[in-house]
Each structure stands twice: as C-alpha cells, then as structure tokens.
Amino acid sequence: MTKRKSPNKNKKQPQPEPEQFVFRAQHFYELLENQAYRCALTGRELTPENTTAEHIIPLRTHGEHRYDNIYLVDEQVSKIKRYLTDEDVVELAAEIIETRGYEFGYALKRSRQRE
C-alpha cells in the first residue's frame, strides 16, 4: 500500500479572481432608456444601430470596467471617447472650432474662465 502525501498546509492557495462585470444587452437597453435615446456627448438621437457603449473614464486613464462607468454615445464620437475623458473631448472640440470653425460658420465664446 502506498502512502499518499498530504497537501502542504503552508502553501498559499490561489485567491479567486474578483468577478468581472459583463456588459449585456439588458444593460445597453437600460442605458438607452435612461439617456432618453440621446448621446451623452453630442445629444444626437441614438438607435441600436448607431450607438456604442464607452467608458466615461477611459480604462487607459485608470477608469474601471463597471456599469456606473459606462454610457452610450453616437458611433461617430466613440473612437475619440475611447481614449479621452469628457473634458479632453470638449477641449479638443473647442480647439477644432477655434482653428477651423470659421470655415463652416462656427465660432466659440467662453462662458466662464477655467479654474
């Protein structure tokens, strides 16, 4: 008869991974309803065909993949929103309008000074 070795009690057991949030269709439609079918950045009308879910605080700027860090945007702005914060997007848009807006009949007026 062979003796079985008992497991080493001093050996650290691996800790289970924290449960990852999975963005599902129900979350998409709930956000769509909560946002009144409007893009969080542009106010454009959203439909399931033109909508992309993005992180409010992008993952690359230390945002987390959680439900409360996701909103819906028009697919045309999703590419820049994936990498920029809301403030960065607005600043970029303002720079574009300041530089090229006159060609298309747009101008900016600052509503208040930044702190």
pLDDT of residue 37: 98
> Could you tell me which residue, 48 or 1, shows the higher pLDDT?
48
Model confidence at 32: pLDDT above 80: yes
Write down the domain spans for the chain. Answer: 25-104
Model confidence at 40: pLDDT above 90: yes
pLDDT of residue 5: 58
Over the chain, what is the mean pLDDT? 88
List own/partner pairs for 84-88 with CB under 8 A and 24 or more apart: 84/58, 85/57, 85/58, 85/61, 86/41, 86/56
Q: Which fold has domain 25-104?
A: DNA Binding (I), subunit A (1.10.30)
Model confidence at 3: pLDDT above 90: no
